[in-house]
Structure 1
Amino acid sequence: MKAIQLSRFGGPEMLEVVDLPAPVPQAGEVLIRVHAAGINFFEALMRADRYAVTPQLPMIPGVEAAGVVEAVGQGVDVGLLGRRVAAPLFMSQRPHSGYAEQVTMSADLVVPLPDALPFEAATALMVQGLTALHLLRQSPPDDKAVLVPAASGGVGTLLVQLARLKGARQMIAAAGGKAKLDFALSLGADAAVDYTKPDWPARVRDLTGGEGANIIYDTVGGALTAALLEALASGGELVFAALGRFGLAASDLERLIGRNQSLRGFALLPLLSADVLRASLSELFQMAASGLLQVTIGGRFPLDRAGEAHRLLEERRSTGKVVLIP
C-alpha cells in the first residue's frame, strides 16, 4: 500500500510517499480501506518538531480516517465487512497511521457513518468536531457573548455553529481578511472582526456594549492569547485549547486576576472514554447528516501532495477541513 512517511523533522518536503506492506488486522481489529484522512495543524507542528510531544521516527502521520471495512480479525463480527466507518486513530494503541491507503484499529473504537455523511465530512468531525463539542460542554455558552478566534478554520467553523445551537446570546467571529470574515458570518456569526487589525479587541468591546466577550475559546495560542484577554469582559472566561502554544507572561496573568477573569485549560483526550467517544461522534455525525451542522472542506489533496496540504495549513490559507484522498 502507499503511505506518507516522516523520517526526518523539517518542512513539508519531509513527507515522503512510500510503499509498505498492507497492515493485517489482529484479534479484535478491523482493516479499513481509507477514503479520506484528516489533516490537523498540530501534525504540521509535529512534522517540524515544534509540538508539545516529539514523536518517534519514522512514522506515518494522521490521527483520523474514514473508509470501508475490508477485513476483520479474530473475534470481530463479520457483519462489519463493507460498513462505512470512522476511524478515530488518536484513541487507538497506534495513534498515528492515517496518511495511508489502509489502516487497522480496534473494532470497539470504529464508529458507523450515516449513509448521507461523506467520508471527508467524517474526518472533520473527529479531532476538530470533538474539540468543538467538548469545549462547549466544559464551558457552556448559554446566554453569553462568545468570541471564537480562527473562526474560518476547522474547529472554528464548527464552534460558531454549535455555540449558536447551544444558546450563545451573541456570537462574534474573529479571523483574518474579508473573505474569512464573510464566511464566518455565513455560518451564523452575529458579527466578525479582523484580528490582523491592531484595534480589533476594541471592536469586540464595542460590539458587546463596552464589556467584552464573556467567554473566549482560544484554539490558536501563541501571541494571540494576550490580545484575547483585552477582548475578554471583566469576570469572563478564556478557555485555552492550544496545547504547546501557551504564551502568557506573568504580567498577563496578574492583569487577568485584577479583572476577576478566569483561565481554563482544555485537553480533549482525558475527556474521552470509548463510550463517550462513540456517543459524541454519533451525535456530530447525525447533526451533519441531517443538515443541522455544516461541514466545510477547504482542501482536497491526493496522498502524494501531502506536503502541499501541510503548507496550505501553515500559511493560514485554508477554510474548514483539509483532507487527503488516498
Structure 2
Amino acid sequence: MSKIRVAVIGCGSISKHRHIPEYAMNPNVELVAFCDIVPERSQQYADQYRAKAYTDYKEMLEKEKPDAVSVCLPNVLHAPATIAAAESGAHVLVEKPMASTEEEALAMIESAKANAVFLMVGQNQRLMPPHVKAKELLQSGALGKVISFRTSFGHPGPEAWSVDGRNSWFFNKEEAIMGAMGDLGVHKSDLLRYLLDDEVSEIAAFIGTIDKQGTEVDDNATCVLRMKSGAIGTLVASWTYYKGEDNSTVLWCENGVMKIGTDPEDQVIVELRNGNVEKYKVGAIATNESQTTSGVIDAFIDAIVAGQPPVISGEEGLKSLKVILAAFESQETGKIVQI
C-alpha cells in the first residue's frame, strides 16, 4: 500500500520529542509538510524530511491535502485546526486536552464523523507499558475491586520543556485556557477512567496559581473524586514539583495494593494481603527528561491502516476533559460537581 502522507501542525516540544520522530520511525508514514507560525521551526523539519514548510495551516491543508495530521498547537487552537483538517479530509491526532470546552470537543467529534475521518486524542498515559500492565493485572481479578486510590502528575513546569521557555503559550491564559490541569490533570483523569474501567461521578477541587509568577493559569490542583463504582480517591496536578517529576498511581483494592510508578526499578508492584509481593519491570513511563516512545503515533497510524476507529477516540478524550472542566467548576462554585 502507498504510505500515509502526514503533516504536523505546530512544531514545538511535543512535536520535536514525540510526534515527528515517531512518525519518522513508522514505515507506513511519509512526512510531507510542517506548519508553525515561526518559519524557522517548520523549515528546519521540512529540510530534514524533504517536506514542505508552511506558516498557515489552512494553506497547507489546501495545497498538500495530507491523509493525516497531528495538531500540536496551543489548547485554544485545537478545535479550529482539528475541524479544518477534518473538513479537508484528513484523519486527525490532536494533543490533549482535546479542547477548551465541551462544545468545542463535540464540534470536533461531529466534524470527524461528518467527513468520515478518524479523530484520536493524544492521551498517551494509557499506552505506557506500566499502565498497560496495571490494567492487565486489574482485569485478572486477583486484586478484587478498587476501593480507593491516589494519582499524581507533577513536574517543575513547562519552562524547561517548552521551546519558548518562560515565554511559552503554556503560561498565557488566552492561549492555554488552563495550566497544570490541562497539561497534566487530564492525563490522570484519562488514566483513572482507563485503569478502573469506570467513570467519575462527582468531583471537588482546589485549583489555583500558588507559586508561578506572572501567569493566570493554574499551577496546582488537588481533586477528590468519587467513581460510579463508589471508589473514592485523589487526583493531583502540579507544575511546582521543583525537585523532580512524579507520575505515580496507587490503588488500594480488596485483596491488596497496586503501586505504579513509585519505584525506579519495578514500575508495577503488587502487594497482596496474603503476603505475596509481585514486582514487574515492564519499561518506564516517559518523562520530560527521558523520552520513550509514546505509542500514540503508532496506534494512530495502525488505526488508519486497518480502517478501524482509534482506541483513544474523540469521545474518550471528551470524557476525560469533562472531569477537568468539572474540577474548574468546583473551584469556582465551592461545591461538589456531579458529572
Q: TM-score, normalised by structure 1?
A: 0.37
Q: TM-score, normalised by structure 2?
A: 0.36
